[in-house]
Amino acid sequence: MTKYKNILTKVCEMICDAKDLEPDEVTGDTPLMQLKLDSLDYVELMVLAKREYNITLDADWFINNPNITLRELCQHILKVSGN
């Protein structure tokens, strides 16, 4: 599995658990706004990134990119992690 797919899988699992969604309801093209994430969900995403990839996602990044898709988030995580 590529590192990107690994990131996408982990992020999707976290979101599906948080929002009680089925995995087939979330794709890389799903905008985060459509998922109706609340502040706790964003904190969980930041903790996941820190724990799994040893990177810090800044809350301002989410604020400045309100229309990002799940794919764009995962690409950002991949880029920041240096891989």
- CB of 26 within 8 A of CB of 70? yes
The whole-model pTM stands at 0.89
**Residues in Cβ contact with 7 at an 8 Å cutoff, skipping those fewer than 6 apart:** 52, 53, 74, 77, 78
Rounded Cα distance between 44 and 29, Å, is: 20
* CATH number for the domain harbouring residue 20: 1.10.1200.10
3-state secondary structure of 39: helix
Q: What percent of the chain has pLDDT over 90?
A: 92
pLDDT tens, residue by residue, 39-75:
999 999 999 999 999 999 999 999 999 899 999 999 9
Q: Is 35 exposed, middle or buried (0-12, 13-18, 19+ CB in 10 A)?
A: middle
- CA terminus-to-terminus distance, the chain: 14
At 1, is the pLDDT very low, low, confident or very high (cuts 50, 70, 90)?
A: confident
Give the integer Cα–Cα distance in Å for 74 and 78: 6
Q: What pLDDT is recorded for position 82?
A: 84
Range of the domain at 62: 3-80
Q: Could you give the number of structural domains in the chain?
A: 1
